[in-house]
Structure 1
C-alpha cells in the first residue's frame, strides 16, 4: 500500500446512543482505494464497512461500496444509514434526497433534520419473495434454532426473501419466545447452502400503544455474523412479508411499523419501516433510522 490517507468513522446505526444499534465503519475519500485495499481495511477493522465514492454517471449522485470482514457485499442497510449520516454531519452535505448507487442498484436516500439531529431514510424496490422451505429443511432449521413447532405463528410460513442477499423469515407466536432461542451456529452454517438463505430472521409481532411493531433476532453465522444486532435490509424484507401474508393491513395504501432488534446482544436499536402497497402486493419499501458517531480516525494506506 502507498502512503495515502482516508478518514474512517465508527458509527452506530439505528440508534442515537453510542454502543447500541448496529456498528458500521464508514470510509470517506475512498476513490483512490483499490478493491483489495478496501477489503484489507474491512478485514482489519473486523466490521461491515462502507466506502463513499464520487458518482461515475448521471443516473446517481454518489455511491457506496460495501465489504464484510470476509468479502464484498452488494448492499448493507445499516452501513447505508451510517454512510449518509457521516456525509451530512461531517462533510456538511445538504439534507434532502439523493440517488446512491450500490451493488444492488440505485437506491433513493433522504436525510432529514429531526429533533436536533439527522435521520436517514432509504427507499427501494421490494425484495423478491422466494420459496417456502420444504418440511425436511424446516425441521432442521427449527432444531438448529431451538424452536418448537408450537412456538411458530400459524400464519407465518418459513419463507425466503431476497434483496441483494437472502434471509429465511421465521415468525413466532409472541416476542417472549425470542428469549428461548438456542442457536447452533455450526449447524446453521452447515444448513445455509442447503436451505438457500444466508441468514435466519426470527420475529414476532409486538404492537404498542403507538402502533404496529415487531421484535426480532437475526443469525448469519455463514457470513461471519453469529447474531446481527439490527438489520435494516431484513426489516425491509419483513415489511413485504407481513403485507404479503396479510399480517399487517395497509391504511391508505401504506403499512407502517417499528421494528426492535438487538436487545439480546446488548445493542438495542430501532428501524422504522414503511411499505407502500396495493392490497397484498408491495410497491416500494422505505426504512428509516438514526445514527451516532462513536469515533473517527485517519488511516494511511
Structure 2
C-alpha cells in the first residue's frame, strides 16, 4: 500500500527556506524499524509519522525520527506536523492541535489568513537549566577567541525536552566566523547531557529582528541546522532566566540559517513567574510537495 507524505518548509517566510520536514500521514502499520529506514531515506534533519487520523486523549500520536534515531521532541517537526494535520486530516479551521509526543502532549495554536494557516505557535515544556561551561573550553570548539564570547552571561545547558548548550556571543561577525572543531566538541560535551550547541548574538542582518543564531549538532549527524524550534525554546527560557533583556517577559524575533542558505525566522515568547518559565515558539509553515512511497 503506498505511503502518503508531504514536505513542508518550517519557520520559512517563502518556499525553499526554513527547515525541511517530511510528514507521513498514514503510519499506523509501520514498525519502528521501518520508520527509521524511511527517515534515513528522506535524509532530512527530521521526518515525522502520524499514527492515526483519530485523536487519542485529545491529541494525535506522532513520532519523530532523525536519519539516525528517534527523538522525544523537536521544534520544527512539531509545527510542521500540526500544519499537515490541519491541512490533510482535519481539513477545517481549528484554534489548537495537540500532538502526543514521547516528551508528552504539546499544543500548537494556529492563526489563519485567507482560511489557510498563518502563524503556528507551540507551547514547550518549562526549561530546565543544567551545567555551565567555561569560555576557555568552548572558544576552541567554535574556533573563536575568548573575547568573542559575552562574559556577562553563562554558557549553559538548557532543555525543554532536548538539551542544548547555549553560547552567548557579542557580535554577528563572530557568529559568522564559527567553524566547529568536532573532536574538541566531543571532549567538551562528553560529561554533559547536551550534545547540540546553540550560539546567538544580539546583532542581526534584518533590523526588524532581535537576535541571530546558529545551531550545530555534528555529533548527531547534523553539521548545522537552518531552524531549530526546540533550541530556540531553550533560548527563550535562557533569556528570561538570566534577565538578558532586563524585562520580565520575552517577545523576540530570531533569524537563523543564513550561513547555509536556508534563511529562517522564529518568533519566541517567554514569561517568568516565580520559578516557572512559560515558553512558546512560533513561525510560518509552507507546503512544498506531496507524494507517495510505493
Instruction: Calculate the TM-score normalised by the size of structure 2.
Output: 0.91
CA distance in structure 1 between the aligned counterparts of 2:228 and 2:113, rounded to whole angstroms:
22
2:240–2:277 CA contact under 8 A, matched in 1: no
2:237–2:277 CA contact under 8 A, matched in 1: no
Match of 1:5 in 2: 2
CA distance in structure 1 between the aligned counterparts of 2:207 and 2:43, rounded to whole angstroms:
39
1:74–1:104 CA contact under 8 A, matched in 2: yes
Match of 1:97 in 2: 96
CA distance in structure 2 between the aligned counterparts of 1:233 and 1:49, rounded to whole angstroms:
15
Q: Deviations over 1:189-225 (max 9, x none)?
A: 4543234321011101237765x71101111011100
State the SS of the aligned residue for 1:194: coil
Is the aligned partner of 1:113 residue 2:106? no
CA distance in structure 2 between the aligned counterparts of 1:235 and 1:115, rounded to whole angstroms:
28
The offset of 1:115, in angstroms, is: 6.6
Q: 2:70 aligns with which of 69, 72, 75?
A: 72
Q: 1:146 aligns with which of 136, 143, 146?
A: 143
Q: Deviations over 1:137-183 (max 9, x none)?
A: x5343102112111111222110012222111100112232111121
CA distance in structure 1 between the aligned counterparts of 2:59 and 2:41, rounded to whole angstroms:
29
The offset of 1:89, in angstroms, is: 2.4
Q: CA RMSD in A?
A: 2.0
Match of 1:218 in 2: 215
Match of 2:179 in 1: 182
Which consecutive residues of structure 2, in runs of 5 or more, have no partner in the other structure?
none
The offset of 1:86, in angstroms, is: 1.6
2:240–2:271 CA contact under 8 A, matched in 1: no
The offset of 1:63, in angstroms, is: 2.1
Is the aligned partner of 1:172 residue 2:169? yes
Match of 1:289 in 2: 283
Between Structure 1 and Structure 2, how many residues are aligned?
289
